[in-house]
Every structure is written in C-alpha cells, then in structure tokens.
Amino acid sequence: MANFIVRNIPNTITCLNLFSGCIASVMAFQHRFEAAIAFILLGAFFDFFDGMTARLLNVSGPLGKELDSLADDITFGFAPAAIVYSLFQEVHYPDFMASWNVVMPYTAFLIAVFSALRLGKFNIDTRQTSTFIGLPTPANAIFWGSLVVGAHSFLVSESFNAIYLFILVVIMSLLLVAEVPMFSLKFHSLTWKENKIRFLFLIVCIPLLVFLKISGFAAIILWYIILSLVTMKRGEA
C-alpha cells in the first residue's frame, strides 16, 4: 500500500496541475481574468514539482510523461486560449469587421492547438535537454494571462482592436513551434562567463515587475524571447 501511494504522488501532483487548468478555463470564460491567471500560476507550481518529485522518488514512468503533457495543454494551452476567447468578445472591432465578432473569438483556440504541437514535439525532441526549441507553453500562458489582466483597459479601448489581437495570437502560436533555440534558466554554476545571458535576463526582470506590476510578467516573456533571439544570432549558450 505504501509503495502504491509513493508511486502515485507525482501523478497526483500532475493531476492537480490539470485540475488547476480546468478551473482557470472556467474563470476565463466568466471573464474573471485575475482568478484565471492565479490558477494558471498554481498549475505552473504543480508542474514544476511533479517531475522533480518523480525523480526524487525514482518513480518516473511513461504514464507520468503522457499525463504531464495532457495537463500542460489544458493549463498552458486551453486556459490561455479561453482567456483570449473572452477578450475577443470585449475587444474593439472596426466598422468593416463588425460582422466578424461572432467568428473571430474562435481563432483564440489556435493557442491550444499550437501548444499541443509544442508539447508533442518536446516529448520526441532529444535536443531539448538543456535548452528549449520554441517558446515553452508555461511562458506563453503567463504572457497572455498577465497581459490581459495588466493591460485590460488598453486592450478593450479603441486604440487596440481585434486585428491586432489576432496578429498577436498568430505570432505567439508560431513561436511555440518555431525552430528557435531559447535559453534555459537552469544554472550549472554561478560564474558570469557561463551565465551572463541568464544574469542579464534576471537583472532586467526586476524593474519590469516594479514599474509594470502584473503586466510586467508579459513584458518579461517578451524580453525572454528577444534575448533568446539575440543569443541564437550570436551563437551563445
């Protein structure tokens, strides 16, 4: 009995991630965006610890891997898609797009589709051991959640409209599956030479959070993407 319980601790944590993602999705459809991002972050917390727990208890298995991907697509794929779906219902539509307001919200689910593709690629891609190829799904989910919560008044104003939102959905979805190396935040040492990109990333994150508050998380994800692109161009690790 004890062995059975121990073996299923990581899967239980993964299921809590999945459960959090389901609640986040419901909150998103109800336009309760603050609650939605709170449950996405809670899911990210569980996602961080399920794999660590599996390795610590030495109970990793194929079920855990498949379950983890399923949970991640709900929490970091479907939930942010639900947030954007609800935002499409509030966003400004130019006069020539007035009749599109029924169809356009469904384009938000491109986020869920491309998140599933991203997770599938990650499971079979042996290159992604110390770096990522494409934008990680948790980063994409946090971007959308923090953007909608922190910049909601701007996003629903006439200064922004459904066209811009759709373009942003397409760009972020493509980044999920793009063949773009993105650095990991794992430190193998604390030397500046080996971690200057990571240190630079963290240093800039602080003022972004201080001045932009919740929307600072969205700015941090954009900073992460930009820095990854620069890193790729210069060939730095």
Residue 135 confidence (pLDDT) above 90: yes
The CATH code of the domain that includes 119 is 1.20.120.1760
User: How many domains is the chain partitioned into structurally?
Assistant: 1
pLDDT digits 0-9 by tens, 205-230: 999 999 999 999 999 999 999 999 88
Q: Quick count: other Cβ atoms within 10 Å of Cβ 120? A: 13
H-assigned helices in 30-136: 33-57, 62-73, 79-88, 110-124
* Domain housing 171: 2-180
- Give the integer Cα–Cα distance in Å for 71 and 117: 14
Mean pLDDT (the chain, rounded): 90
pLDDT digits 0-9 by tens, 194-205: 788 889 999 999
Please report the pLDDT score of residue 237 as a whole number.
46
Q: Of how many residues is the chain composed?
A: 237
Indicate the pTM of the whole model. 0.91
Q: E-strand spans in 72-192? A: 132-133, 181-182
- Give the integer Cα–Cα distance in Å for 149 and 205: 18
Could you tell me the end-to-end alpha-carbon distance of the chain, in angstroms, rounded to an integer? 46
